[in-house]
Structure formats: C-alpha cells, structure tokens
Structure 1
C-alpha cells in the first residue's frame, strides 16, 4: 500500500551553492522553502576565506531570504595555501564557520586558489582534528592522466586514505559521492569521523541519461554522473538506513549562457525539486521508513547540532517543476525543468 502523505522532521541541506548578487536573490527562496538549515559553499567568484567575508555573506543571504521562511545559513571556510590557524580558530570557536572546505586546485567551479596537494595544509588538518572541526571534501583527483570517471576512486586511494591514517579522528564529509567504491569505503569507517552526502541527481540518473538523444549540458556536473552500477550502489545504501549518509543536494545554479557555452560550466540547480526527488527515490526503493533519518537526522548527528523541532509534510500530488528562472536578460534552467513529479509540499 502506497503512502499518500508523509510528515518528517524538517530537513537540512548539507551542501548548497547560493552564488551571490542577483542570482542569490532569485534562487535562495527555493532552498528556504524545504530546508531549515543549509551548509553554504564558499567558492564564490571572490571566495570566502576569512571570517569577515563569511559574516558579510551570511548577512546577504539572510536579507535575500523570503521573510516567511525561518532559515539558518551555515558558513564554511575555503581552504587555501595561505589559510592561517588563527583564522580557523577564530571562525570555529566563534561559530562563524561550521566547517572548512577542501577544493583541490582546478577540480571544479572557482577552485583556482584551492590546494595543490593536501600536504600543503597538514598543519591546518592537525589543528582541525584537535578542535573537532569538520573537513568537507570535493573528492576527485585532478591529474589529467587519470580518466575523468576514475577521479573519485583514485582520490580515495591516493589522498583520502593516507590522510585518514595520519588524522584518524579528523571529521570528514566526502561530498556528493558517486561511486560504489566510495560507498564501500565510507561504510568501513566510524560515522562519527567519516560520512558522505549524496545528491538527488546522482540517485535518479546515470551517465546514459546525459547522452540520451544527444548531449544534455544541463546534466553536466562534477563529479560526473557514473555507470548504472554506481547509481544502484547509491540507491541501495540509502535504502538500508545507513547512518554514514545524509542529504546534500549540491544545488549549483549557473546562467544559461554559461551552461551552453564553448566551455560549459558544471553544476545542476535542483533546489526547486530536490526534496521531492529524494522522496521519489526512497519510495521507488520501498524505503520511506528511512527518509527522515537521511534527510533530517544523520547530518545533524555528524555535525553535533540539534535536530530540528519543526516538521514538513509531503503529499502524493503532482508537482510540475518550473521551466526557467529569469535573471536579468538571462535565465537559469532547473533540474527536471518542465517535468512532473508525484510528490508535492503540503501548503
């Protein structure tokens, strides 16, 4: 018998790109509609590397949010070779930064000032382990000689495993995992110290979808969609209720002119439908009993924050995803634009 209505603790999104300026003002409400809190990625055009920048950006986010939504942005520090222990200590002890983000240089959008080698910040990681500050990782190797579909698995072997051996109690989130190898590796470790986020698009799609009836630039993201066997591994693990894994949509808006370009930008803007996508997958996997733990409980437990008290209700009612969002003279096209999902938010 199928559920007609589901009420769960209001979720948090543990991986969100909000951009800034006009884009921020237009898209922030879609995250606020579904989520109480969200971890805000720091890779802006002018990356968030200092506490003062994080405070200013947080204020811009709150000013842009729909006044009907009670929303808390959780800020992160963009790690660079020049990041200081003083900045990390100030940010974490004053609750300005909830975590620090590691981008290997040139691994994704706005990562040109990222870390070339993880050994460049050994002193930072040692201190973060000491104070219990989480490290968020875009886990892909950047060596051009490594096949693009193997970068995540090679990152675990070449970078993550040596790091964990050196810092076994460093709290790490391996973000937006996409492979069977990642699932198996994360499951081997204590969820107190290693967990992972999974996006709705990596649960719903595999790499065949990106090339169906011609290349589909709006399904281009990093890490890339992988083979069906990897998609199935992600779906299977969330259907077991495993506490290592939680919601991180990696919603990432880009203007149409930047997606459809000679060098198209990587990123999928799924905020208008992400929670509805997750419930769709859990229903397909006959695992709705684990929806709340994945969306609302596992993340707060890892970050040592309170689980939300509010609830949110989803109903079995068709929801048509909007086709576009106007941004000045350009547009942003959302994930599943124009398509109809079977679940809606109760109003």
Structure 2
C-alpha cells in the first residue's frame, strides 16, 4: 500500500507547532487566522516583537491580542532573553503561566539586535528557570564573523548548548530549528531534558534552494543534502526528543523580494503556518519517493509523534482532543495571503505547488 493510500483520509489529533512567529499589528491580524488552516491548535509563540517581550505583562498583553483574533487556538507564551530578565522576573513569569524564555544570539536573525552576547551573565536566570521548570529555547547559531558564516554558525554553537546543559542538567532546553546532522547528534547525546525542533521547510530544502529563491531563505539556512536526509530520519525516528517547530516567519512580500527601501536586502524567514501539517506530511511522502526514507519507516505513530505528541509531552501540555483528517486531492499552495485592506501580502513556502489538505472534524 502506497503512502498516499495509507494516509489519505487518516484521522489524527490536531498538530502542535512549537515555534511560530505571529508578529503584531496588521501582520498578526493576517497570519493568526491561518494557524488552524495548517491543522494546528496549539502554538508556542516567539517573543521577538519590536520592542521584544521582556516582561510577563507584555507577554500576557500580546496573548490577549492573539486570542481576540482566534480564541480557539492555545497560545503558549515566552519571554525574550534580555539583560532586564532577572530571577525575580522568571518567578513572576512562571506564576503568570508563561512557558519559557527564548534566546537569540545578538544580530543573528530577524529582530535579534537585543539578543545575547554572553550566556554566563544569565546563569542565575537559568538556575531559576531550572528551579521553576521553565523551558529555555535556543536559537543555536554563533554570529557571523572571522571564520563563522551562515553555513557553520549552527555547528559552532553546539559547544555552548553542551556547556549550558552540563551546568544546568535539569533545565529543559530546546535547540530550535536544527539544520545539521551535527546538531541532531548533539541533541541525542544530551540527557532527556534536551530536545530539538525541526521545521517543515528544512525537510525540503538544501543550500541551492535558498541561494536562488528568497522565499526559501531563513536563519539558520538550509544546509547540505546529507543534512536534509538526517533531519528526515530524525523526524521519522519518533524520538521523544524531536518534534515539529515550524519557525513560520511571515514577512511582507516586498521585504522578501529585496525591500521597498532600495537596499536590496532579503529578510530571513519562511512562512509555513497555513500548511504546517500538510508540509510535514508531504515531506515524508517525498522522502519515500526519493528513497531517502523507507516506506515502513513512516508509520502513523511516527507522524502523530512528530506533529504533536512528542512535543506536548516535552512541554507538559495536554494531548489534543481535537481531530483533523488528511486528504490528498487537487489542492495547491496559494500564491499569497493578503491583509484585509490589501496593503500587505505574505507569500507562503512552496507557493503554487500541490499540497496535502487538512479537514477539521
């Protein structure tokens, strides 16, 4: 029985996406309604707004704005690791129901200028997070410079992950958006309190794709075909340490095409939110067709685990009682999503390509 025959019409729990960017203002209003289109009912929301979310009050205010747009989604909130974050703020955040803290090395990606320069300064914060059972989410890249580029920035960061884990072995840590075999190896070598997320787009892409298409460009960048194969194998291994975090990152289409400011620079980010589940399923299907995975490696349990069950267990949130149904018909990824007033256009990943569909029960 083919992959399509096995999965077409399959009922699954709603997916959970443990890494999303929903922005603010008009962009927030445009992309938040697309969460459930992607078969997702639970999202872990990134705090890198402008200015970043560094207090519980700011995070809860943002959550209220999101809930006003779509109250049927569960929004797990985070703070931005910043010099103003103290152990006292961590205690307040835990009491307020905030799930974790996201770390961005200074300057490595979109809205990261206020990020971390030295992790040692935050050891008292990590100690309190460990005590409060909060999650530390790491954007695992070193800033470019000297012999560090976008191609080795992730691998150069891995000793930092190991050092934080060694000093705080009970701290739950997630290495976000793993892109290399080396990153996956490191995650698996760490203890059970360390996990890694994989995006939907990195299951498709290699360096050649983003080198020729700005809508495939993100940070960390996609790497070699061997790294893509390692990601697919990790996603199919059904490990409790590996699960979906799309890093869906919407930008105005003009900014992805080089900007309206005439500078010609492309912003980092791939928008996958409306097709989160569909893309992951499609990546498994393509991997089998290409021979990167064997048909019997992608079971229903594998898909359920990667799309939400493993992540929910790691985060300690309930499994979903909502159900979705996978369909494979004639649907194609739309060319763009527009704001209500038409002033903003966001182009999704694999625009115009055939895609799986999701129905809610």
- Whether these two folds match at TM > 0.5 is yes
Aligned-residue offset at 1:258:
1.4
Which residue in the other structure is 1:324 paired with? 336
Residue 55 (structure 1) aligned with residue 94 (structure 2):
no
Which residue in the other structure is 1:276 paired with? 278
Aligned-residue offset at 1:143:
4.3
Structure 2 Cα separation of the partners of residues 168 and 84 of structure 1: 20
1:26 to 11, 27, 30: 30
The 8 Å contact of residues 104 and 138 in structure 1, kept in 2 or not, is answered as yes
Which residue in the other structure is 1:110 paired with? 111
- 1:178-219: per-residue Cα shift (whole Å, max 9, x none)? 00001111111233x0001100110011112223xxx21111
Structure 2 Cα separation of the partners of residues 82 and 27 of structure 1: 30
Q: How does 1:177-188 map to 2 (within 5 A)?
A: 177-188=178-189
Residue 294 (structure 1) aligned with residue 291 (structure 2):
no
Q: How does 1:214-253 map to 2 (within 5 A)?
A: 215-253=212-250
Q: How does 1:80-119 map to 2 (within 5 A)?
A: 80-95=82-97, 97-119=98-120
Which residue in the other structure is 1:256 paired with? 253
Residue 154 (structure 1) aligned with residue 165 (structure 2):
no
Report SS of the residue matched to 2:152: helix
Structure 1 Cα separation of the partners of residues 228 and 115 of structure 2: 29
The 8 Å contact of residues 49 and 78 in structure 1, kept in 2 or not, is answered as yes
TM-score with structure 1 setting the length: 0.94
Which residue in the other structure is 1:71 paired with? 73
4+ long deviations beyond 6 Å: none
Aligned-residue offset at 1:268:
0.3
Q: Identify unmatched segments of 5+ residues in structure 1.
A: none
Residue 344 (structure 1) aligned with residue 349 (structure 2):
no
Residue 44 (structure 1) aligned with residue 45 (structure 2):
no
Structure 2 Cα separation of the partners of residues 190 and 306 of structure 1: 23
The 8 Å contact of residues 210 and 216 in structure 1, kept in 2 or not, is answered as yes
Structure 1 Cα separation of the partners of residues 209 and 255 of structure 2: 21
- 1:265-309: per-residue Cα shift (whole Å, max 9, x none)? 100001121210111123334303200011121111111121112
Report SS of the residue matched to 1:5: coil
TM-score with structure 2 setting the length: 0.90
Number of corresponding residues: 337
Aligned-residue offset at 1:48:
0.8
- 1:88-135: per-residue Cα shift (whole Å, max 9, x none)? 11111231x101111111111111111111112111011111221110
- 1:209-258: per-residue Cα shift (whole Å, max 9, x none)? 223xxx21111100001010100100111122122100111100000121
Which residue in the other structure is 2:169 paired with? 168
The 8 Å contact of residues 10 and 36 in structure 1, kept in 2 or not, is answered as yes
Structure 2 Cα separation of the partners of residues 325 and 143 of structure 1: 33
Which residue in the other structure is 1:335 paired with? 349
Structure 2 Cα separation of the partners of residues 225 and 282 of structure 1: 17
Q: Which moved more, 1:18-27 or 1:308-317?
A: 308-317
The 8 Å contact of residues 279 and 288 in structure 1, kept in 2 or not, is answered as no
Q: Identify unmatched segments of 5+ residues in structure 2.
A: 259-263
